[in-house]
Structure 1
Amino acid sequence: MIGIVMAGGKGTRMNLDNEKLLLEYKKPIVLHVIDSLKNSNCFSKIVAVTSPNSPKTKKLLEENNIEIFDTSGIGYVEDLNLALQKFNDSILVTSGDMPLLDKKVIQTIVNQYDPQKIWTSVLVTDKLLTSIGIQSNYSITHNEQKCHFTGISLINSKKINSLENLEENYIILDDKRIALNLNTKQDYDLLSTA
């Protein structure tokens, strides 16, 4: 299995002077995410997907000998699609802005991988997000409860011909380690209470 970390976004919602993935939580957040994947011992390789939107992030990753897959940075879906075409394998994809991620939760997610399913998105319930003071704009109803996307998916890219009409499966995993993505300054402020 290959671990892919999406690290090419602009982070415009944060309204920062610096790049979002360089925010510190003990170390730059993107390195924390990559180390969580490395420490899980679940992956044959870990790749960071970068773009011209995040040149300082790319430089930091290169300085830390992280394999880079560079994209045009048009958008998250387009960048991920390019990466999936390149790596014909079982894949865990995660956002690079998840400061509470750790090896145990990665192992828990990877253990639920089913290669028969092309795409499985990991969700958390609205109840969990509300309990820790997080809001999300990306919700769906699954198993009769309001849920939110975490930014983590398990993908069998060998079975993908096109991202159109792809059947998506879902796993609900209510765990605060995957609930917090840094999308706003309020999310970053919540880190100090985590």
Structure 2
Amino acid sequence: MICLVMAGGKGTRMNLDDEKLLLKFKKPVILHVVHSLKNSNSFSKILAVTSCNSPKTKKLLEENNIETFDTSGIGYVEDLNSTLRTINDHVLVISGDLPLLDEEIIKKITNQFDPKKIWTSILVTNKFLTALGLESDFSVNFDGQTCHYTGISLVNSEKVSSLENLDENYIIIDDKRIAFNLNSKKDYDLLGTA
């Protein structure tokens, strides 16, 4: 299995002077995510998906011997689609802004991979997210409740020709290690209480 770490966004919702993935929580968030992925021993390759929106993040990753893949930076879906077209393997797609991520939750997620399913998104319930004091703009109704995307998906890229009209499956994992995305200044401030 290959891991794609999405690290090419602008982070505009954070309203920062610097790149979001360079925010520190013990160390830069992007390095924390990559080190957790490496420590899980779950991947044959870890590839950080970068763009012209994240030049300092790309530089930091390369200084730490992490392979990067450049995309146009037009948007998340476009960047992911262009990257997946170059891969013919099972893939974990993960956001680079998960400061509480650790190897145990990564193993728990990768163990749920089903190659018969093209795309499986990992969700948290709205009830769980709001209990943490967090909000999300990306929700879906699943299993009779409102849930939110974590930025983590299990993909059989051998079966993906386009990200349009995919048969998407869902798994709910209410765990703060994957619920805590840094999407706003409020999220970063809350991180100190997590």
Confirm whether residue 81 of structure 1 aligns to residue 87 of structure 2.
Answer: no
Which structure 1 residue ranges, 4+ long, deviate > 4 Å from structure 2? none
Confirm whether residue 138 of structure 1 aligns to residue 146 of structure 2.
Answer: no
Give the corresponding residue for 2:177.
177
CA–CA distance in 2 between the matches of 1:187 and 1:163?
A: 29
Give the corresponding residue for 2:56.
56
> Deviation string for 1:82-135 (max 9, x for gaps)?
110111110000010000010000000000000000000000000111111001
| Cα deviation, residue 178, structure 1 | 0.3
Give the corresponding residue for 2:167.
167
Give the corresponding residue for 2:127.
127
Residue identity opposite 1:35 in structure 2 = H
- Count the aligned residue pairs: 194
- Native 8 Å contact 2:92 2:155 kept in 1: yes
1:24-43 alignment runs, 5 A limit: 24-43=24-43
> Deviation string for 1:50-107 (max 9, x for gaps)?
0000100000001001011001101000000011011111000001000001000000
CA–CA distance in 2 between the matches of 1:65 and 1:13?
A: 29
Per the normalisation by structure 2, the TM-score is 0.99
CA–CA distance in 2 between the matches of 1:82 and 1:34?
A: 21
CA–CA distance in 2 between the matches of 1:105 and 1:66?
A: 21
CA–CA distance in 2 between the matches of 1:30 and 1:144?
A: 34
| Cα deviation, residue 15, structure 1 | 0.5
Residue identity opposite 2:64 in structure 1 = N
CA–CA distance in 2 between the matches of 1:16 and 1:163?
A: 30
Confirm whether residue 23 of structure 1 aligns to residue 23 of structure 2.
Answer: yes
Percent identical pairs in the alignment equals 71
Task: State the SS of the aligned residue for 1:5.
Answer: strand
| Cα deviation, residue 162, structure 1 | 1.9
For structure 1, the residue ranges without an aligned partner over 5 or more in a row are: none
Give the corresponding residue for 1:109.
109
Give the corresponding residue for 1:98.
98
CA–CA distance in 2 between the matches of 1:34 and 1:122?
A: 19
CA–CA distance in 2 between the matches of 1:176 and 1:149?
A: 13
Residue identity opposite 1:176 in structure 2 = K
Give the corresponding residue for 2:118.
118
| Cα deviation, residue 165, structure 1 | 1.2
- Native 8 Å contact 2:85 2:161 kept in 1: no
Task: State the SS of the aligned residue for 2:85.
Answer: helix
| Cα deviation, residue 24, structure 1 | 0.2
Task: State the SS of the aligned residue for 1:121.
Answer: strand
| Cα deviation, residue 161, structure 1 | 1.8
Per the normalisation by structure 1, the TM-score is 0.99
Task: State the SS of the aligned residue for 1:158.
Answer: helix
Give the corresponding residue for 1:9.
9
